[in-house]
Amino acid sequence: MSLRKVLLSEDVVSLAQILLGATITTHLDGITTSGIITETEAYKAPDDKGSHAYGNKRTKRTETLFAEAGTSYVYLCYGIHHLFNIVTGPKDVAHAVLIRAIEPSQGKDQMWVRRAIKSKGYNLTNGPGKLSKALGINKSHNAIDLLSIRSPISISLPKQHIPHKEIIASPRVGIAYAAECAHWPWRFRIKDNSWTSLPHDVKYDN
């Protein structure tokens, strides 16, 4: 089955788990970098208060979420970090999977150059803003077809899916505003993989 057909599923929660172990690759300015997806979060409009398209809200920014499966959704968070999402589901169904962390597999030295920090180790790509910068992804890469052979960013599924017992499910990070939806266990990580983000435990008061 083609990746596009896989991403057309309306079950974005399952897709967020299927994408664990997949490879994301960028070809930018003659430089190739890639990594294995180790952490994801699912967002499902219109009922998910954590989604930018909650209530099927359509704005200039959120319109990308209503595009075809396999489209990139890149936005600027806190005016600093570019966050990379993969739009899923049929056209006009605003579901998306946020890529929260990757394990570098190609072009690691170039990733450090892009990150422009002295520290080494997991800090390179163990967070959504970090991985975007390491891979060279920014807002100019919003609304592109990730499944086109001409795309500067591509996704390929693993030969074997990560077994369910090797996946940790927990509440999503930083969405206290989402009320009861903040508690939904829609953040997924590969168990015992050090290339995942902090905090490991997320709790909300509401």
pLDDT of residue 33 exceeding 90, the answer is: yes
pLDDT at 206: 62
156 CB neighbour count, 10 Å cutoff = 11
pLDDT at 119: 76
Give alpha helix (H) positions in the chain.
3-7, 12-18, 108-115, 128-135
pLDDT of residue 38 exceeding 90, the answer is: yes
Q: DSSP character for 71?
A: B
Mean pLDDT of the chain: 96
pLDDT at 79: 80
Residue 181 to residue 178: CA distance in whole angstroms: 5
pLDDT at 50: 98
Distances (CA, A) of 195 to 2, 51, 111, 138: 27, 25, 14, 21
Residue 50 to residue 109: CA distance in whole angstroms: 35
Please say whether the beta carbons of 116 and 37 come within 8 A: no
Residue ranges covered by each domain of the chain: 3-190
pLDDT-based confidence at residue 93 (cuts at 50, 70, 90): very high
Q: Which helix (H) or strand (E) holds 153?
A: strand 153-156
Beta 153-156 vs 187-190: how paired, if at all? unpaired
pTM for the whole structure: 0.97
pLDDT of residue 1 exceeding 80, the answer is: no
Is the previous residue joined to 163 through a cis bond, with omega within 30 degrees of 0?
A: no
Higher pLDDT, 36 or 1: 36
Mean pLDDT (whole number) for 136-157: 96
3-190: CATH class:
alpha beta
- Of 36, 69, 71, nearest to 153 by C-alpha is 71
Distances (CA, A) of 181 to 3, 44, 50, 87: 28, 10, 7, 20
Residue 191 to residue 74: CA distance in whole angstroms: 26
pLDDT of residue 118 exceeding 90, the answer is: no
pLDDT-based confidence at residue 78 (cuts at 50, 70, 90): confident
Q: Which helix (H) or strand (E) holds 24?
A: strand 23-28
pLDDT at 159: 86
